[in-house]
Amino acid sequence: MSDHSTTYVPKSAFGKWFESRLPIAGLVHSSFIAFPVPRNLTYFWTFGAILVFMLVSQIVTGVFLAMYYTPNAALAFQSVEHIMRDVNYGWLIRYLHANGASMFFVAVYVHIFRNFYYGSYKAPREVLYILGVIIFLLMMATAFMGYVLPWGQMSFWGATVITNLFSAIPVVGETIVHYLWGGYSVGNPTLNRFFSLHYLLPFMIVGVVALHVWALHVPGQNNPTGIPIKSGKDAVPFTPYATIKDIFAVVVFMLFFAYWVFYMPNYLGHADNYIPANPAVTPSHIVPEWYFLPFYAILRAIPDKLGGVIAMGAAIVIWCFMPWLDTSKVRSTAYRPLYKQFFWIFVAVCITLGWLGSRPAEGWYVIASQICTAYYFAHFLIVLPVLGFVERPLPLPNSILESVMGVQKGGAGIPAGAASEPQTKG
Amino acid sequence: MAETTTHVAEPTRRDFLYIATGAAAAVGGATLVWPFIQSLAPDAATVAAGAPVEVDLAPIAPGQIVKVFWRGKLIFIRHRTPEEIKAAEDVNVASLRDPQPDSARVKEGKPQWLVVFGNCTHLGCVPLGQQGEYHGWFCPCHGSVFDTSGRVRGGPAPTNLPIPPYSFASDTKVIIGQEATA
């Protein structure tokens, strides 16, 4: 919470000297050591730490890849093969980076749906949440441009299709696309600038993540009950409780990550991307990476170029309005029996859209995409606003402590240790 | 004693200086952005590479589609068969999404030669020749269908395949990138 006091007192003489000049140790202490976190957080709340780990992992592997990669249309493909065959452990660094992008999106989707389920986007966390949406958009841009760099067939045609989305803009669309390409088609200038931006954007993500964490530390974390911390008994100190749990979750996630890297490193990619870019031939079935598929399905569901592009953009922009579209006063879906069903329908629709995005755009796939797209928007524009008025939520517990320990009757039935305030210890 | 007034009814010289300074900074900032934005545009070498290209038509058999590049963009040169020409001409133009008669898409007296840009007007994929309902082109990416005149007949593409500037130097030689000078 923003009003908690900094209890940090430097012990050494140097510590005191330094702290009076740059109080960074006190900031770290109040934010990541003494910071009170709800005692009922589940493992769904460890994905923030997992995402920080993935961001660092992508930057470290990326910086090393950039030492061996050549951003030139004539040399890029060869330089990637050089990394794979000649550079010591180049194969490992590249597979970590390529699969790392997918792992990053796995974690961010869990993080986003946890937020949807527990109503973390609601007041007072709207700004925190919208910063998260911005991070997601930056991630999409970064991932897209990174996928272009190997300059294989999927790179080239993915770049062509995505940049052509801007040509749907009336009047100036064509000019904008030429400015994006630096030419009259995707080519060497496009590859150069994508490499430059692919290196830049992750550091912009770091900046927005810092704001995201800052905004988180003002109201503190949401929790599975959705009710705020009311007393010290509802909370535990960040260290060791959240720190250790986050580290454990990151290690488990690393196992999952390593499985992909070592056992099926190309499963999430496309074989066509091992064919050098050829501007005269489009692969017979072009699809984006799995994490873009639901949005791709929405794009293709609309039988109009500009309409499709607008729908795809709106599918993400609409997230920003969720705090105001959701009229329910209850945050956590655990206490919203009706919304719980709609939430899972929404999850199913998103997964179905992802699957449809991987199918060719023909026959009943198109119709199914249209139905799912309509439902996707209806979830935000109809279900969220209406349910708040018609739903009768379950009774909320009086406190986080009560939800964990059961209803207190004069303190009986709760072990003394459990009811104590661990963050006041030592 | 000197007195500092923070609220005065009349604008002062200082107000004028604030606004003038702010305006100069805004104009200067906007001006400085210009060269950076312009640097993203196709550069001089790319524009220069747009010089016209000559293509020999003699080896192109009827029914064949040849791919060439001009300004880095793919171009189809299609030697249409009499049936394909007939199919392109026997169309109710008013019923098309982007209404254009076939005669407006070929050079007069040379209906067998169709020259069009080879990227789908939807999102830029390369459509496959002789495929789709009208045996013109079919785009594998998002299912746009084009007829033997390169006109959009189905799918999400908003317009016909555009025609590049070109002219015939002789019956068997075409210059792409240059209109005939009368």
pLDDT of residue B6: 63
Q: How far apart are CA B170 and CA B149, in angstroms?
A: 22
CB contact at 8 A, A116 and A127: no
Residues in chain B within 8 Å Cβ distance of A184: 42, 46, 50, 71-73
Look at residue B7 and tell me if it is in a domain.
Answer: no
Are B40 and A182 within 8 A, CB to CB?
yes
- Better-scored residue on pLDDT, B81 or B155: B81
Q: Closest residue of A to B138, CA-based?
A: A284
- Res B61 pLDDT > 60: yes
For chain A, how far is it from start to end, CA to CA, in angstroms? Answer: 20
Q: Closest residue of A to B66, CA-based?
A: A280
Question: CB B20: neighbour CB atoms within 10 A?
Answer: 10
Look at residue B3 and tell me if it is in a domain.
Answer: no
Q: What is the DSSP letter of B76?
A: E
CATH T-level topology, domain A287-404: Helix Hairpins (1.10.287)
Question: From the CA of B143, how many Å to the nearest CA of chain A?
Answer: 6
Q: Which of A69, A71, A100 minimizes the C-alpha distance to A82?
A: A69
CB contact at 8 A, A323 and A375: no
Are B72 and A185 within 8 A, CB to CB?
yes
Look at residue B114 and tell me if it is in a domain.
Answer: yes
Q: Could you tell me the CATH number of the domain that includes residue B84?
A: 2.102.10.10
CB contact at 8 A, B155 and A193: no
CB contact at 8 A, A299 and B122: no
For chain A, give the secondary structure using H, E and C: CCCCCCCCCCCCHHHHHHHCCCCHHHHHHHHHCCCEEECCCCHHHHHHHHHHHHHHHHHHHHHHHHHHCCCCCCCHHHHHHHHHHCCCCHHHHHHHHHHHHHHHHHHHHHHHHHHHHCCCCCCCCHHHHHHHHHHHHHHHHHHHHHHHCCCEHHHHHHHHHHHHHHHHCCCCHHHHHHHHHCCCCCCHHHHHHHHHHHHHHHHHHHHHHHHHHHHHCCCCCCCCCCCCCCCHHHEEEHHHHHHHHHHHHHHHHHHHHHHHHHHCCCCCCCHHHHCECCCCCCCCCCCCCHHHHHHHHHHHHCCCHHHHHHHHHHHHHHHHHHHHHCCCCCCCHHHCHHHHHHHHHHHHHHHHHHHHHHCCCCCHHHHHHHHHHHHHHHHHHHHHHHHHHHCCCCCCCCCHHHHHHCCCECCECCCHHHHCCHHHCC
Mark out chain B residues that contact chain A at CB-CB < 8 A. 37, 40-43, 46, 50, 67, 69, 71-74, 118-119, 122-126, 139-143, 155-158
pLDDT of residue B24: 97
| Burial of residue A113 (number of CB atoms within 10 Å: 0-12, 13-18, 19+) | middle
Question: CB B98: neighbour CB atoms within 10 A?
Answer: 13
pLDDT of residue B49: 78
Write b or e for each residue in A355-370: b if 16 or more Cβ atoms lie within 10 A of its Cβ, otherwise e: bbbebbbeeebbebbb
Question: From the CA of A318, how many Å to the nearest CA of chain B?
Answer: 24
pLDDT of residue A355: 97
* Average confidence score pLDDT of chain B: 89
pLDDT of residue B83: 93
Are B71 and A184 within 8 A, CB to CB?
yes
Q: β-strands B53-56, B173-176: how paired?
A: antiparallel
Look at residue B8 and tell me if it is in a domain.
Answer: no
Q: How far apart are CA B149 and CA B111, in angstroms?
A: 10
Contact status of A245 with chain B (Cβ, < 8 Å): no
Q: How far is CA B98 from CA A331, B94, B103, B167, in A?
A: 51, 9, 14, 24
Q: In which band, very low, low, confident or very high, does the pLDDT at B37 lie, cut at 50, 70 and 90?
A: very high
Q: Closest residue of B to A179, CA-based?
A: B41
pLDDT of residue B11: 86
> Which residues have C-beta within 8 Å of that of residue B155, sequence separation ≥ 6?
A303, B122, B139, B142, B143, B144, B145
Best of B65, B141, B144, B152 to substitute, by most chain A Cβ atoms within 10 angstroms, is: B141
Q: Closest residue of A to B158, CA-based?
A: A305
Are A304 and B157 within 8 A, CB to CB?
no
CB contact at 8 A, A198 and A142: yes
Domain with CATH 1.10.287.980 in chain A: 287-404
Please tell me whether A217 is known to bind a ligand: yes
Question: From the CA of A295, how many Å to the nearest CA of chain B?
Answer: 14
ipTM of the complex in this document? 0.82
CB contact at 8 A, A421 and A233: yes
Q: β-strands A235-237, A36-38: how paired?
A: antiparallel
- Better-scored residue on pLDDT, B68 or B1: B68
Q: Closest residue of A to B155, CA-based?
A: A303
Residues in chain A within 8 Å Cβ distance of B46: 182-184, 187, 189
pLDDT of residue A1: 42
Backbone angles phi, psi at B78, to 5 degrees: -115, 125
Contact status of A181 with chain B (Cβ, < 8 Å): yes
Sheet holding B128-129, edge to edge: B128-129, B137-138, B145-146, B152-154
Contact status of A4 with chain B (Cβ, < 8 Å): no
Retrieve residue A311's tokens: 């729908």
Look at residue B169 and tell me if it is in a domain.
Answer: yes
Residues in chain A within 8 Å Cβ distance of B43: 182, 189
Amino acid at A423: Q
Backbone angles phi, psi at B134, to 5 degrees: -105, 10
Are B72 and A160 within 8 A, CB to CB?
no
From start to end of chain B, where are the E strands?
Answer: 53-56, 65-70, 73-79, 113-117, 128-129, 137-138, 145-146, 152-154, 166-170, 173-176
Are B42 and A182 within 8 A, CB to CB?
yes
Residues in chain A within 8 Å Cβ distance of B73: 184-185
Are A281 and B126 within 8 A, CB to CB?
yes
Q: How far apart are CA A120 and CA A11, in angstroms?
A: 38
Please tell me whether A285 is known to bind a ligand: no
Domain encompassing residue B101: 48-176
Q: How far apart are CA B50 and CA A384, in angstroms?
A: 54
Q: Closest residue of B to A362, CA-based?
A: B143
CA diameter of chain A: 78
Per residue in B80-135, pLDDT (tens digit) is: 999 999 999 999 888 899 999 999 999 988 999 999 999 999 889 999 999 988 99
Residue in the structure block whose two tokens are 């084009």: B146
Catalytic positions of B: 142
Look at residue B171 and tell me if it is in a domain.
Answer: yes
pLDDT profile of chain A (426 residues), mean per 10: 62 94 93 94 97 98 98 96 97 97 98 97 96 98 97 95 90 93 93 97 98 96 95 93 97 98 95 94 88 94 88 96 96 96 98 94 89 97 96 94 77 46 45
Contact status of A86 with chain B (Cβ, < 8 Å): no
Q: How far is CA A229 from CA A37, A53, A237, A403, in A?
A: 8, 27, 12, 12
Please tell me whether A178 is known to bind a ligand: no
pLDDT of residue B182: 53
* Cα B173 off chain centre by: 23
Q: How far apart are CA A363 and CA A304, in angstroms?
A: 17
Contact status of A308 with chain B (Cβ, < 8 Å): yes
Of A178, A282, A286, the CB nearest to B42: A178
Domain with CATH 1.20.810.10 in chain A: 24-282
Q: Does domain A24-282 have CATH number 1.20.810.10?
A: yes
Of B124, B156, B158, the CB nearest to A160: B124
Are B73 and A187 within 8 A, CB to CB?
no
In total, how many domains does chain B have? 1
Question: From the CA of B7, how many Å to the nearest CA of chain A?
Answer: 35
Size of interface A-B (CB pairs under 8 A): 90
Of A184, A193, A300, the CB nearest to B72: A184
The angle, 0 to 180 degrees and rounded to 10, between the axes of the packed helices A90-117 and A243-263 is: 130
Look at residue B101 and tell me if it is in a domain.
Answer: yes
Q: In which band, very low, low, confident or very high, does the pLDDT at B181 lie, cut at 50, 70 and 90?
A: low
Q: In which band, very low, low, confident or very high, does the pLDDT at B3 lie, cut at 50, 70 and 90?
A: low
Are A184 and B73 within 8 A, CB to CB?
yes
Q: Closest residue of A to B126, CA-based?
A: A282
Residues in chain A within 8 Å Cβ distance of B124: 160-161, 163-164, 167
Retrieve residue B24's tokens: 């100069």
